[in-house]
Every structure is written in structure tokens, then in C-alpha cells.
Amino acid sequence: MHFGERENGVNTLLASLKLEVNKYILCTIHRDSNTDIETNLIGILEALLSCEEKTQMKIVLPLHPRTKAKIEQLKDKDFVERFIKNPNIIILPPAGFNDIIVLEKNTKLIITDSGGLQKEAYFFKKPCVILREQTEWVEIVENGNAILTGADNSKIKNAISLLLSKNDFTYPKLFGDG
């Protein structure tokens, strides 16, 4: 929260990526259950493509080198090419601390399998699709700020659609003042 209140190069980073505040989606994928099982990885990536096609929103995807390699190793090379070459899917190297804070703070929606980003999404008042079957932060799911989907393509698409259309989120101090 402290670093989110600072400028941290917002104008520079967003401008360099041609992003507008609240007009893009931030996604991170790194857990073995999502990257090492090909059907799970494809399900997630297909949901991202579907989301981009439906919303025309840019999707920012900072990728760990291992995750990037797993995508490149997928058997369906046409799919991989279509995903990687999509101009609205911005694949980045892993984001540093300040950059990820800037991206979280200014996004419309976060899609992640990271425990830390789930909670940060809540502090930045951003809805979150959780690419896991369970979460440490059940309070944000119970409060309606996040939806658990695992790697299920249809659940991910439905959660994205629901969270992007919802505008009555509340953010009680479930975790104190940070």
C-alpha cells in the first residue's frame, strides 16, 4: 500500500506499454499445476484469448522464463503463434517490484495464481480471478471480490465476464489497514 501511493513511474511504464488506466487486464501464471499440465495451460491461455476477443482489452502478461518456455513447448504450434502474436496480449519478462505495483494499481482486473497478487488486488480495490482451486485469502472470495476458477476454461471466462460487468464491489478492512 505504501509503494502504491507513490508515483513509481506510472506514466513512464503505462506509456511505454501503450496502456490506459483501468483499460487493461493483468495476468500472472506461474504455479506448476497451471504450467506443467498442458491441458491446464491451454485452458488458461484460451480463456485469455477469448477475453481479449470479447473485450478488446489489452492483457499484460509478465512471464517467468519457465512459464514462457512451457508455452513455447505446447504441441499446437499454431495456437502458440496465435497467442504470442496477438497484438493485445503484451508478454513481458518478469516484472520488478515497482512495475508490478504500478500494473496492479492501474489495471481493471487481475487474473492470477499468485497468493500475493490476490491480496494486493484487494488492497488496490481490483477484482481478481484466482487460477487455483483454493486460496489462503478466502475472505476476498466470500466478499465477492475474487472468484476461484482453477484452470477450467469456462469458469475462467465466466468469472472474467462477471467481474468486468460488476460495479458494486465493497472493500471492507478485512485485513486491517495493511
- Residues marked as catalytic: 30
Question: Cβ neighbours of residue 50 under 8 Å, at least 6 residues apart?
Answer: 153, 157
Q: Which amino acid is at 76?
A: D
Q: Alpha-carbon dihedral of residues 10, 144, 149, 2, nearest 10 degrees?
A: 30
Q: How many C-beta atoms surround the C-beta of residue 32 within 10 A?
A: 11
Cell 505495483: give the residue.
101
Q: Alpha-carbon dihedral of residues 93, 30, 22, 165, nearest 10 degrees?
A: 150
* Long-range contacts of residues 14-18, Cβ cutoff 8 Å, at least 24 apart: 14/102, 14/106, 17/58, 17/60, 17/90, 17/92, 18/58
CA distance 61 to 43: 16
